[in-house]
Amino acid sequence: MSRRFAKLLLVLLAAIALPAHAAGPVLHTYFDPDPAEDLALHATTADGKLPAAIETPSGVAQAPDPLRAPRNNEQTYGGSSTPSTIDATYRIDRNTSRPDLVSYDDPFIPAVTPFKRLFAYDVVEQSLELGVADKALVKLNVGGSVRSGDDQFYADMNVDLVAETAVRIPSVGPGTRVLSAHTNPPVSFQLQRDGAENWFIRSSESRRVRLVLQLAIGRETFGSPFAADASYASLSRFLPRMPQVIKAAGERVLEKIGISRAMTPAAAVGALVGHFRSFAPSDDRPLSSGAALYEELKKLLDGGVIYHCGPVVKKHEDGHYSFVAAGPTTSIREEPYQADVIRHFNVKGVIGKGGMGASTLKACQEQPAVYLHAIGGAATLIAQSVKEVVTVHKLEFGVPEAMWVIRVEDFPVVVTMDSHGQSIHDLVQADSRQKLAGLIGV
């Protein structure tokens, strides 16, 4: 560079700088985010880990802020939801009534409502439970690029990590690929999936993090025509195993609604879709469900025992349940109904805590039956007496409110209301009132 040119360049720079200097230094200028511009320039987020914007069928989507910390007032995944917890299966029942409220959170950008995939099942068990045939977890690879025919998404969610435990997180659909993944605060983690493509995240730490992902999935996953030339033979390798009793019941239903193997798979699927879409909304519970359950309970409770308990239950990988805690709950809340239940179902014993009232005591005399008091605060000790969970009814009400059928041994209880009209609870209360009267001088 010549000296003359250098002097000229210096003069020009000084001329440009003078107006700015005269008004004070300009530290920075704010520009509103422009996703379309970010997309055109292939810009990344501030940490360089995600594209700043992606092209989607619904328009250009802007990336979530990867540096934002998790918030306590947001929906959080993971935590107690693991491959072996009770929510890992779904028990089929006859209740087709509409729920009063459906809670739904969509952590994806753009939204995938109602396609979010949090629980997926691929097998029907003998117990009429939907489950996962292959529960073994395999690593989900992270990396790669967008392919032709893909839809792209960001995922932005809070996750409660549990050290050395795979906890459940949602995905947008089967066959989804993870192009990028990171957490804030940064932790070491691995994404995993089971045979039904339920997703999990595993870490060596227990803490709440914000998980941000870039995802890609074939567009045809969300809607494509059923192959007209598909045969039952070609589809057989995708079909789950099915217990013979379940298969026989299914065939009776298909016959009833006019579907058979004489139809092509495409025609059969179309007929099934049409059948289910013909259902009219209703808030009524099917009467057959209540009658069937009533008959089963009548046989079960005849000469049996009721335990007032809201248990903590664990579901194991092989599908069976075990009680972790089985402490008694306060029985007096059932006083308006307990006498009728004792008489109608021929119940011989009621277990709980705190005792019950005059109506239940009278029913115990008439039946006869007894009330047995369990130890409050000894839930884990009592659970050791539960040797087997035989079955469960109405699990859709939740674990504490469901009706669990259990087999017990050496159950630690004391009879406090007998069939002769005696109640230790009444005796203790009367004695306590007498001593209180003496103490206060009444």
Same domain, 162 and 108: yes
pLDDT at 28 over 60: yes
DSSP state string for 138-150 = EEPPB-----TTE
Domain that holds residue 138: 35-222
Query: How is residue 237 written in tokens?
Result: 């390798």
- Single residue among 222, 245, 260 that ends a domain in this structure: 222
Kindly indicate the confidence band of residue 138, based on its pLDDT and cuts at 50, 70 and 90: very high
The answer to whether 392 and 314 are in contact (CB under 8 A) is no
Per-residue pLDDT averaged across 262-269, rounded? 92
Per-residue pLDDT averaged across 157-184, rounded? 94
Per-residue pLDDT averaged across 76-97, rounded? 75
Residue 5 lies in a domain: no
Residue 332 lies in a domain: yes
Strands (E), 161-207: 167-169, 177-184, 189-193, 199-203
Phi, psi of 401 (to 5 degrees): -95, -10
Instruction: Give 266-287 pLDDT, tens digit per residue.
Output: 999 999 999 988 887 766 544 4
Most confident range (mean pLDDT) of 90-94, 184-188, 232-236 is 184-188
Residue 18 lies in a domain: no
What is the residue-averaged pLDDT of the chain?
85
Phi, psi of 184 (to 5 degrees): -135, 120
Residue 316 lies in a domain: yes
Same domain, 71 and 208: yes
Q: Which residue type is seen at 110?
A: P
Query: How is residue 39 written in tokens?
Result: 């997309």
Same domain, 119 and 64: yes
Same domain, 120 and 138: yes
Provide CB contacts within 8 A for 97, sequence distance 6+.
Answer: 282, 283, 284, 285
Q: 3-class SS at 315? A: strand
Q: Nearest Cα to 365, choosing from 345, 400, 344, 339?
A: 339
Per-residue pLDDT averaged across 161-189, rounded? 94
Same domain, 133 and 202: yes
Q: How many domains does the chain have?
A: 3
Same domain, 297 and 245: no
Residue 373 lies in a domain: yes
Residue 255 lies in a domain: yes
Query: How is residue 348 written in tokens?
Result: 């011989």
- Single residue among 277, 295, 313 that ends a domain in this structure: 277
Same domain, 209 and 251: no
| b (16+ CB within 10 A) / e for 273-299 | eeeeeeeeeeeeeeeeeeeeeeeebee
Q: The domain spanning residue 391 has which CATH number?
A: 3.20.130.10
3-state helix, strand, coil in the chain (%, to 5): 30, 25, 45
Same domain, 75 and 137: yes
Global pTM value: 0.61
Kindly indicate the confidence band of residue 288, based on its pLDDT and cuts at 50, 70 and 90: very low
Same domain, 192 and 60: yes
Same domain, 172 and 259: no
The answer to whether 209 and 183 are in contact (CB under 8 A) is yes
Report how far residue 186's alpha carbon sits from residue 41's, in angstroms, rounded to the nearest whole number. 27
Which pLDDT score is estimated for 299? Answer: 79
Q: Nearest Cα to 107, choosing from 187, 194, 218, 201?
A: 201
Same domain, 409 and 334: yes
Same domain, 352 and 420: yes
The answer to whether 356 and 350 are in contact (CB under 8 A) is yes
